[in-house]
Amino acid sequence: MQENILVVEDDASLADWICDYLTDHDYQVTQANRGDIAVELIESDNPDLVLLDIMLPKKDGFEVCREVRQFYTNPILMMTACSEEADEVLGLELGANDYINKPVKPRILLARIKALLRRTDNSSPGSYSRVFGALRLDANSKTVSYKTQPIALSSNEFEVLWLLASNAGQVISRTQLISQLRGIEYDGFDRSVDVRICRLRKKLLDDPHNPRKIKTIRGKGYLFAEDAWGNA
């Protein structure tokens, strides 16, 4: 069964090129050139993945991402012509799973899409829950509670927490995190994981200056401390 990708891009020539390229690689592709239309299509069609440009008429990509994350749980890959880190961080905070810079390189685009869809496929129901004292994680519903209180996490934040918790007591390097979360090699400049961990610490009441729950192991990576979450 073909996976359906919604391409949201107002540059007609670029959109047509992307759609043709993805079709050639056996994806079913739908196209939208405005943000408001994209929201309607995402709600009605529930595509397997949304490739979302930032600069759009009617509603920009940030607005679209913020709005659809209320009901849409599949991956969002944002495209940006701007190299500003603030835009990339904002997209991630609003619920985008990944971003890709323009001009779009076809093989990188395909690799990012495959990685995001592969992660979705691997999230099938099963023994997908984790409990560490007062912390509870459920991968099926992507929900977290701590000390009986629900913790609102973006899908990106949940993915990082789930990966760390699944390797509790082990140091996970930035290279490993980015490779598993984004399907690419760490280039020494990507700070998306750091942003997510910073936000996780804040939401999980972990002291950012002396973290005990999600520790930074200098020069090595991050460690999820399995015995730092108190009693259930």
95 inside domain: yes
In this predicted structure, what is the pLDDT of residue 33? Answer: 96
Shared domain check, 17 and 97: yes
In this predicted structure, what is the pLDDT of residue 143? Answer: 86
229 inside domain: no
In this predicted structure, what is the pLDDT of residue 110? Answer: 93
Q: What are phi and psi of 6, to 5 degrees?
A: -95, 120
In this predicted structure, what is the pLDDT of residue 187? Answer: 45
Last residue of some domain: 121, 153, 186? 121
In this predicted structure, what is the pLDDT of residue 76? Answer: 92
Residue-wise pLDDT for 141-186, tens only, equals: 778 999 989 998 877 788 889 889 988 899 998 888 877 776 544 4
CATH number (domain holding residue 160): 1.10.10.10
Shared domain check, 60 and 81: yes
Q: How many other CB atoms sit within 10 Å of the CB of residue 90?
A: 17
In 3D space, the residue among 63, 36, 58, 45 whose CA is nearest the CA of residue 6 turns out to be 45
Last residue of some domain: 121, 141, 172? 121
231 inside domain: no
In 3D space, the residue among 194, 206, 78, 93 whose CA is nearest the CA of residue 153 turns out to be 93
In this predicted structure, what is the pLDDT of residue 215? Answer: 94
170 inside domain: yes
Shared domain check, 139 and 53: no
Residue 170: its H or E element: none
- Its domain, for residue 219, covers 129-224
In this predicted structure, what is the pLDDT of residue 81? Answer: 79
β-strand 28-32 against 4-8: which pairing, if any? parallel
Last residue of some domain: 78, 94, 121? 121
In this predicted structure, what is the pLDDT of residue 128? Answer: 66
In this predicted structure, what is the pLDDT of residue 9? Answer: 96
Shared domain check, 219 and 157: yes
Shared domain check, 112 and 139: no
Q: Which residues of the chain have pLDDT under 50?
A: 122-127, 184-189
Report the number of distinct structural domains present in the chain. Answer: 2
In this predicted structure, what is the pLDDT of residue 124? Answer: 42
CATH number (domain holding residue 99): 3.40.50.2300
Shared domain check, 12 and 90: yes
Shared domain check, 113 and 21: yes
